[in-house]
Structure 1
Amino acid sequence: MTEAMARHAATIRLAVLILLAFGGAATGMAEGRRVQIITSFPPSFFEPFRSAFRDRHPDIAVEVVQRKTTAAVIDIRTHKRPDADLFWASAPDAFELLKRAGLLAPSKPRPTGAPQTIAGYPVNDPGGRYLGFAVSGYGLVYNPSYLTARGLPVPHNWADLAAPVHAGHIGLTSPSRSGTTHLMVEALLQSLGWERGWALWSAIGGNLATITARSFGVTAGVARGRFGIGISIDFLTEANAAGKEGNRFVLPGETLFAPASIARLAGSPNPEEAELFIDFVLSPEGQRMLREPRIGRLAVSPSAYGPQETPPHLSEIEGIFNRTGFDAGLSAGRYELVNLIFDEWITFRRAEHARLWRSLQAMEAALLSRPDEEAARLLTRARAALTRPPVSAAELDDPARFRNLARVPRGLPVPEEQARIEARIRSAIAASAAEAGDSLRQAAERLAALGWRDESQTGARP
């Protein structure tokens, strides 16, 4: 080897060493401190927090994975997101479900000054596995122009949604696709009791114009006049109002206030950074950010409010769970059962369900001017069939039977025991629908003999 060739080889070796050194340093920077958050919140909510946290901790990269609450729960339960550190969402029963599965790590309490409960609902998990940082009021969103044009009243309580006048004018998201809806469904089941609660949801289901794919679809559909009323959270309506879409929001007589929470996952690869993010969200700065118009949320900390403000959730308000309290463990134990019943009974049979309810409502109204004892008996039988849940309250005495139900991704086989439970639920629903249909047919024949004509389906919204 010549001297020139030797010098050239040495230069190449030096260049390789420099590249390796700088490459290693670059890799080290790329693998620096980080925290990954799974959240159901929109970018308009989490981006200000991400930016402010980075200003305080510029050495920590914040990654956000945006998922619907129900999809996020599945991802966490199936360990699809092994790099995730935090779960950040509105639906507290989703946190309880993850807690019971051993998927949430304990977090130290933070001195926010928040009350222990809000309208009967605990702000923090008593076991310290998830912490409330904001408060959501669950209620009814409506479009004033839509209701005025059709001469419809503004609903003021949950039972108003079952009134015949609102048939075909309500939009809703399935609880299997929305943590917001799931909590509201479960709240009424607990406050009214299993069978009375399902009777109300069946009647509401009979009034639905559509079932949207996401919670955001409810407020958007109301704003665009696709339907006039929906169930939503206060902050979603406020966000749309900022866009001048004209929605209004009403808190029902018995309001559900529930905390939005944050929790560190048990498998968090970056626990120190995750705890720092929780610290920030619950800090005075983070709590004050919630009150900014661009976010528009109710903070749990009294320090976030000015001297002239009266935080509604901090006063002694009447809520659904003031007297009984919400049983998050009960909710978690039947989480997928509630989703399954709602979808099989209402979501997948919406058109038939609505047709049966509208016929019943029309004939019950006809009885006022055409009394008939046998028709009244038949309509009572039809209503009982339409409001009978496919799983009775007595069957819930064996909660272990339903505890292992899980949402199975499309295309994958359903476990044998779950398949049997699903088939039994579908069979019970079909039998009740057939019983209702038979009773309504007989009642219609009797009323027709008295001069009544069924026009309940004429011009009905799909």
Structure 2
Amino acid sequence: MNGITNIFLRGGRIVSKMLALLLLTAWLRPCAAQGNELVMATTFSPSATVWIIDRWQQEPGSVMIRTLNRTSASLEQLLDTANAENVDLILTSSPMLLQHLQEHQKLAPFSGAPAVSQHLVPESIRSTSVAVAISGFGLLMNRSALMTRHLPAPADWDDLTDPRYQGALLMSSPSRSDTNHLMVESLLQQKGWIKGWETLLTTAGNLVTISSRSFGVADKIKSGLGVAGPVIDNYANLLLNDPHLAFTYFPQSAVSPTYVAVLKNSQHASEARRFIRYLLSPEGQTILADANTGKYPVTPLAPGNPRAAQQAMLMNQPAIKLSIDPQTSAFGSADVLIRRLAFVLLSSKTPGERCIARRSVLSVRYPRYGRCSPVSRWIRPAARMKPGWLSSTTKVLRNSR
């Protein structure tokens, strides 16, 4: 009996391994093109691309577009494999992803893009990537949830540090979401390294949870899980038909272009380039100007357009200078610190417990550019602590630069 049982157990393990291999193969090859079909890999949610694709497919002679929605890290892993030839296009707001793909010779050159588009593209990827739309950053709020908790509507990053928002805010992980990475970059460049991280870590003390995807923040705020959170406008704008939701741009909202590029091994490169030229055409820019996309076109809107003023404001914002690689120890350590702070504060019931939790979390060494700088362990006595007010209880990242 034991022998029979062992055979079945071994057989079960073999079957499990075979199933795992089949699932892995299916995961690596989800994008095999069907005939004359474009496969577009994108970091955007399906709702952010459906309007554009539907309008494109009404064009005479247009081909079908199938989307592959994944995180930047997942797309990097996929497109670095031998299966990358099955993807024709990439649509993303992440210049870091495009930089990685270009450095690995995965992108095809693209010429003829108008100057109004190309000046929005970082010089290092300008030969392969095109900007077809722009977005900005701000705060999405659930008005009903704010009223229920008797909280004021936040308007800027500094407002999110208010201890009254403890357990009420949402954000995505800056190392998993390139959109949030760009928001963090913008904050650090506005406030400086020390003050910027102090603001961010103080905000982390007020989080109710951390979403792995940027559009997950918008969905959770809509459901009432939190009262507010920093998001990119195209996800917020698609939800504003709900009267309980409101969105406000940060006073200094950096511009975030939407990029598109053709994969070097695309089997439908001519059709892929045709789609890009359609997006850059007057008709395509008109479609991108529609509120259903949640974005703004790169072509200036007419003065009478109700969205023209906001588009002009975004176009006049300075570009984000990318300086932090999400794979480096510095950025990764800060992201881990944010996650640990949120977790321990959520699991702590009293001010004293929160003090002990903070002391444990902040007693780490924080590497920056190859050297270590100690995060201060100075903590105010528990009796005088204000829950959620991290900047008043610790000197954050002193001498990190």
How does the TM-score come out when normalised to structure 1? 0.66
Q: Cα 1:51–1:264, aligned 2, differ >3 Å: closer, same or farther?
A: same
Q: Deviations over 1:73-114 (max 9, x none)?
A: 332234554311111022333323333443322211323745
How many angstroms apart in 2 are the aligned matches of 1:191 and 1:306?
29
How many angstroms apart in 1 are the aligned matches of 2:64 and 2:141?
40
Q: Deviations over 1:331-365 (max 9, x none)?
A: 4x4555466224421224522256799949x99xx
Residue in structure 2 matched with residue 327 of structure 1 by the alignment: 321
Indicate which of 308, 311, 316 corresponds to 1:311: 308
Indicate which of 340, 344, 353 corresponds to 2:336: 344
Aligned with 1:391: secondary structure? strand
Q: Cα 1:267–1:197, aligned 2, differ >3 Å: closer, same or farther?
A: farther
Residue in structure 1 matched with residue 30 of structure 2 by the alignment: none
Do the aligned residues in 2 keep the contact of 1:137 with 1:256 (CA within 8 Å)?
Answer: yes
Aligned with 1:256: secondary structure? coil
Give the partner amino acid of 1:341.
S
Task: Specify the structure having the higher radius of gyration (Cα).
Answer: 1
Q: Is 1:134–2:122 an aligned residue pair?
A: no
Give the partner amino acid of 1:352.
V
Residue in structure 2 matched with residue 413 of structure 1 by the alignment: none
How many angstroms apart in 2 are the aligned matches of 1:455 and 1:192?
24
Residue in structure 2 matched with residue 373 of structure 1 by the alignment: none
Indicate which of 30, 36, 42 corresponds to 1:33: 36
Task: Please identify which structure carries the higher helix content.
Answer: 1
Q: Cα 1:111–1:98, aligned 2, differ >3 Å: closer, same or farther?
A: same
> Aligned-pair distance for 1:38?
0.3
> Aligned-pair distance for 1:326?
2.4
Residue in structure 1 matched with residue 370 of structure 2 by the alignment: 395
Aligned with 2:229: secondary structure? strand
Q: Deviations over 1:166-207 (max 9, x none)?
A: 221101111233222121122223333334332222111111
How many angstroms apart in 2 are the aligned matches of 1:357 and 1:180?
32
Aligned with 2:153: secondary structure? coil
How many angstroms apart in 2 are the aligned matches of 1:271 and 1:153?
51
Aligned with 1:140: secondary structure? strand
Q: Cα 1:159–1:280, aligned 2, differ >3 Å: closer, same or farther?
A: same
Residue in structure 2 matched with residue 256 of structure 1 by the alignment: 254
How many angstroms apart in 2 are the aligned matches of 1:193 and 1:389?
20
State the identity as a percent. Answer: 25
How many angstroms apart in 2 are the aligned matches of 1:163 and 1:388?
25
Residue in structure 1 matched with residue 170 of structure 2 by the alignment: 171
Residue in structure 2 matched with residue 419 of structure 1 by the alignment: none
> Aligned-pair distance for 1:270?
2.4
Aligned with 1:71: secondary structure? helix
Aligned with 2:86: secondary structure? coil
Residue in structure 1 matched with residue 113 of structure 2 by the alignment: 110
Residue in structure 2 matched with residue 224 of structure 1 by the alignment: 223
How many angstroms apart in 2 are the aligned matches of 1:317 and 1:36?
30
Residue in structure 2 matched with residue 399 of structure 1 by the alignment: none
Give the partner amino acid of 2:367.
V
Give the partner amino acid of 1:254.
Q
Residue in structure 1 matched with residue 280 of structure 2 by the alignment: 282
How many angstroms apart in 2 are the aligned matches of 1:184 and 1:135?
14
Residue in structure 2 matched with residue 183 of structure 1 by the alignment: 182
> Aligned-pair distance for 1:153?
1.9
Give the partner amino acid of 2:37.
R
How many angstroms apart in 1 are the aligned matches of 2:79 and 2:331?
18
Residue in structure 1 matched with residue 50 of structure 2 by the alignment: 47
Residue in structure 2 matched with residue 143 of structure 1 by the alignment: 142
> Aligned-pair distance for 1:280?
1.2
Residue in structure 2 matched with residue 237 of structure 1 by the alignment: 236
5+ residue gaps, structure 2: 1-32, 389-401
5+ residue gaps, structure 1: 1-29, 364-378, 397-424, 458-462
> Aligned-pair distance for 1:286?
1.2
Do the aligned residues in 2 keep the contact of 1:290 with 1:298 (CA within 8 Å)?
Answer: yes
Do the aligned residues in 2 keep the contact of 1:112 with 1:282 (CA within 8 Å)?
Answer: no
Q: Cα 1:336–1:432, aligned 2, differ >3 Å: closer, same or farther?
A: closer
How many angstroms apart in 1 are the aligned matches of 2:158 and 2:198?
11
How many angstroms apart in 1 are the aligned matches of 2:222 and 2:302?
30
> Aligned-pair distance for 1:316?
5.5
Do the aligned residues in 2 keep the contact of 1:44 with 1:294 (CA within 8 Å)?
Answer: no
Give the partner amino acid of 1:390.
Y
How many angstroms apart in 1 are the aligned matches of 2:49 and 2:349?
42
